[in-house]
Structure 1
């Protein structure tokens, strides 16, 4: 499915040694649409898009890294700096959807999905090959609004991460590793608006980080990976799905238990809201591709009618 060019080293006058490659996929890849699920809000300190160029600050098994991705006529130009640069460059093809096969997905029976697929031929499911790095922010998003979770993510990463290496945009920050998350004191969790239930779950996740990363060897998600993730107290079906979608590139892990998604799927597919059971019933014809269908709906630009109760945003930081 892809033909990445050879990797080589370069010296950037502004940022020192860099590892460089050009990724040339055989099928179209929409870099920004594919990587959008990795962004935790517009102010994510670890993710930035500037002039069409995607920047990521990444904590790798080899250390901190900055990744720069720019689309050009001859492919996706990838450049990375920092101790983890080699690891990041090797991860680029799967990050941009290599191995994510949409050929078996038939959306001809849905006008909305058929149109979205036609307009978004480069949409792929990312596989970042990191579990803890996507599981921690998923835990922060449990049972709170996205705005509240993203604020907590910003506060904690800026306070406990490190500046991204190389010529990174100002304010780009590499999130902590598992040991770094475990060192965060209770008052900083409180200041970020994260209660003991979620912070304790992060501590449990980070205590078994190595075993969680080994689930990547089991393939692109699936029941066994979900079972291992959910064996950790505090990790339920929603958090496991949100993680496997990004870490493993799981194409069949819809986010059951989400506050907004069932209604969105219902309105998109049958013109009325449904609950989780209704959502799963609607997605059943696409079993094996259910997350791909979810991504098509989300990326299509469709939005459900603007009415109904809204979740109250609570500020726990100073209580």
Structure 2
């Protein structure tokens, strides 16, 4: 695993067009040496909930994350540049949680994500061109492992059984109203997500204003009661035991467990069974025909152990399934 190297208090100058806040050095700084061609934005692209996510932004001045770790809140800015055939990922951190954030950097960047088995010629020969071609173009892609289970769980629950637009609105509204200011020079609008105690204090009418029905808000509140235990699951390897423990929280099912593990553990094999679009997309990409969850799992079975890698690469292939049938309509929970 790449080592985290301390950096001097100043970072490389950024273009003058960028805000002054983006050029300020962090309270703590480090550099992680990653393989050449490493794709920072692509690797962390599954973390933000839309372009206006108040907790995670990806832009021309780097990747910004704000969150509360065990040692306290932190604002983290990441940038990447080529360096002697490798990729140097620079990290600037502000806030009490800066030291812990730097320690967790390799996992966040996907440094332990091993694609060697996937890239082995014999395995590659089993894959369709719609997978091998995106892999050729995206050799620097890794699967990140944030290790922050409770933080990942809440937005996943908000995405259950609703449209992406609804879920992103709910997340932005609730974090914006009940979150806390980010330490340091975070971009305008960025906030720390509420702590478990803060989530529990949200009144029922604000869940309704955010478009969150009682079932989803109750799941989040149950997760708040066991938040410390959920975060201890970061020590487990991805797999059936992790999924079972996540699903022990009422309201967390296989889809939610897979979506969480993909972000917190960099799980290379988890498949989001129960997703409104995924099975139809995978079926169309691999066979030209829609399929259901069972059919999707049969199609992906030859690549068990790497099924999430296959799904990610299919998503990068440019294939789009035709629209069939009615769209999932937004729901109004304000008067329920």
- Distance in 2 (alpha carbons) for counterparts of 1:251 and 1:310: 30
| 1:54–1:68 Cα contact (<8 Å) kept | yes
Q: Are positions 1:20 and 2:29 aligned together?
A: yes
1:30 matched to which residue of 2? 39
The corresponding residue for 1:103 is 116
Residue 143 of structure 1: which of 150, 161, 166 is its match?
A: 161
- In the alignment, structure 1 residue 297 sits paired with structure 2 residue 306: no
CA distance in 2, matches of 1:318, 1:234: 22
In the alignment, the residues of structure 2 paired with residue 301 and residue 177 of structure 1 have an alpha-carbon distance, to the nearest angstrom, of 38
- TM-score scaled by structure 2? 0.89
* Residue aligned with 1:268, SS: helix
> Partner of 2:268 in structure 1?
251
Q: Is the 8 A contact 2:9 2:25 kept in 1?
A: no
Between the aligned partners of 2:115 and 2:94, the Cα distance in structure 1 is: 32
* 1:55 corresponds to which of 42, 61, 64: 64
Aligned counterpart, 1:45: 54
Partner Cα distance (1:113, 1:232) in 2: 35
Match of 1:84 among 97, 111, 128: 97
Contact 1:29 1:96 (C-alpha < 8 Å) held by counterparts: no
> Paired residue for 2:139?
121
Question: Structure 1: which 5+ runs fail to align?
Answer: none
1:317 Cα deviation from its structure 2 partner: 3.4
Show the counterpart of 1:93. Answer: 106
Bigger mean CA offset, 47-56 vs 200-209: 47-56
Over 6 Å off, 4+ runs: none
Query: What is the CA-CA distance between 1:3 and the residue it aligns to?
Result: 3.7
Provide Cα deviations, 1:88-131, integer angstroms capped at 9, x if missing partner.
Answer: 12222111111111111133330110101000001111100110
Q: Secondary structure at the match of 1:37?
A: coil
1:83 is displaced (CA, Å) by 1.3
User: Residue by residue, what CA displacement relative to the aligned partner does 1:17-59 show, whole Å, maximum 9, x if unpaired?
Assistant: 6110111113542111111111111221112123151111112
1:193 equivalenced with 2:180 (yes/no): no
Give the whole-Å Cα distance in 2 for the aligned partners of 1:97 and 1:317: 40
Cα deviation per residue 1:149-201 (whole Å; 9 max; x = unaligned)?
11100000000111211111111111112222122121111110111100010
Verify the 8 A CA contact 2:56 2:65 in the aligned structure 1: yes
Question: So what's the TM-score if we normalise by structure 1?
Answer: 0.94
1:277 aligned residue: 294
RMSD of aligned residue pairs (Cα, Å): 2.0
The farther-off stretch of 86-95 and 147-156 is 86-95
Deviates more, 1:67-76 or 1:126-135: 67-76
TM superposition shift of 1:16: 7.9
Matched length: 318
- With over 3 angstroms needed to count, the CA separation of the structure-2 counterparts of 1:23 and 1:17, relative to structure 1, is closer
